[in-house]
């Protein structure tokens, strides 16, 4: 019982695992952020880098706060949905990273996506100044191979 109510701590987001553990609660990025944010001085980003608000996962599965739309192979999309040993969880779906063109080898590699010719091109193209070719040589758009074979964009 928590606060006079009987709850299931394996599935209750307000008391996940034990009384008072709230899934979906705001958490500081690191101790530096936590100190400056709690001080009320509003200078956390200046001293600590990125102190944007982050949250614990919002769903309680088996007494643990879980992000169902993330990459938890044991709770992929729903509590208890386990990906097979040949698949991985990407954005809440079990996929085969050996053949999936949108998640080739991992959740982040998309086959057929544009890639910079080199680091110099990447820097100038991202700056938006359209002087990449002048400073770096050939910066024409190149693409990764369009299909996933054995976990790499290659076929």
- Tens of pLDDT, residue by residue over 54-106, are 666 788 888 888 888 888 899 999 999 999 999 999 999 999 999 999 998 99
CA distances in angstroms from 54 to 2, 25, 43, 57, 99, listed in the order given: 26, 8, 17, 10, 33
Q: What is the pTM of this model?
A: 0.58
Radius of gyration of the chain (CA): 22
Residues 147 and 155: their CA atoms lie apart, in Å, by 5
Q: Which two tokens stand for residue 10?
A: 């394996």
Q: What are phi and psi of 115, to 5 degrees?
A: -130, 145
| Whether pLDDT at 116 is above 60 | no
């Amino acid at each position: 019982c928590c606060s006079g109510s009987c709850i299931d701590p394996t599935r209750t987001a307000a008391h996940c695992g034990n009384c008072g553990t709230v899934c979906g609660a705001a958490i500081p990025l690191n101790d530096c952020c936590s100190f400056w944010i709690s001080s009320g001085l509003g200078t956390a980003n200046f001293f600590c880098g990125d102190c944007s608000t982050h949250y614990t996962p919002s769903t309680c599965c088996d007494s643990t706060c879980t992000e169902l739309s993330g990459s938890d192979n044991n709770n992929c999309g729903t509590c208890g949905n386990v990906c097979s040993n040949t698949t991985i969880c990407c954005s809440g779906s079990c996929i085969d990273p050996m053949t999936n063109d949108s998640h080739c080898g991992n959740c982040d590699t998309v086959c057929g996506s544009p890639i910079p010719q080199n680091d110099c091109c990447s820097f100038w193209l991202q700056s938006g100044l359209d002087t990449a070719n002048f400073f770096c040589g050939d910066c024409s758009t190149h693409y990764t191979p369009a299909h996933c074979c054995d976990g790499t964009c290659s076929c």
